Amino acid sequence: MIQARTRILSLLTALVILTCSLVSCGTSSDTAPMGFKEISDPEVTYHLYVPDEWITDVSTGMTSAYYDGRDPSNISMTAFELDGTVTSVADYWALYEADFKAIFPDMEYVDAVECTLDDVAAMQYIYTATMSDIQYKFMQVIALRQGQVYIFTYTATAEKYDTHIEDVIAILDYFSFKK
């Protein structure tokens, strides 16, 4: 009788542990990391989180946030379908680089390196350019996934760029594509 109760209790304990583990799997990617909030719309194909103190900006028509009113350093994420002629990030950049240089005639590359965005091959372009007599520094991370191009952009004045780079690295680290 005692052995039967022990077996039943052990079985119930095992079921509770199994149920808890199954329920907790799959919810972690949908939950904002501690100190961060999700700013991506439920309709998009990714999760984008920013530090709690950053301000969500819905006025741009894309997923974006900025640091504060006195320091408008900002990030944005946009995604759109490719037309089939672009099959790599290099193709995308070759198509649009001239447009960037037309907008920013003084555009200067700081760095261009291969990276990943949630384990998807990507390129990171860092460059400087002047707008309205103010020197800005940009970081763009571009990835292609399932027929779409994803473009993450960090923009700050040249002197504020390094101030928020740790936040930006964390934002990129916490970025994930929806499964």
% of the chain residues with pLDDT over 70: 83
In the structure encoding, which two tokens stand for residue 61, read together?
A: 């028509």
CB 165 within 8 A of CB 155: no
The model's pTM is 0.81
CB 167 within 8 A of CB 49: no
> What is residue 58's predicted lDDT score, i.e. its pLDDT?
76
Distance, CA of 146 to CA of 175 (rounded, Å): 17
Rg of the chain over Cα atoms, rounded to whole angstroms, equals 22
How is domain 32-177 classified at the architecture level of CATH? 3-Layer(aba) Sandwich (3.40)
Indicate the burial class of 70 (C-beta count within 10 angstroms; 0-12, 13-18, 19 or more).
exposed
In the chain, where are the structural domains located? 1-28, 32-177
What is the per-residue pLDDT across 134-176, written as a single tens digit (0 to 9) for each? 999 999 999 999 999 999 999 999 999 999 999 999 999 999 9
> What is residue 30's predicted lDDT score, i.e. its pLDDT?
62
Contacts (Cβ under 8 Å, ≥6 apart) of 112 = 123, 124, 125, 126
Taking the CB of residue 145, how many other CB atoms lie within 10 A of it?
16
Q: What length is written for the chain?
A: 179
What is the per-residue pLDDT across 120-129, written as a single tens digit (0 to 9) for each? 999 999 999 9
Whether pLDDT at 12 is above 80: no
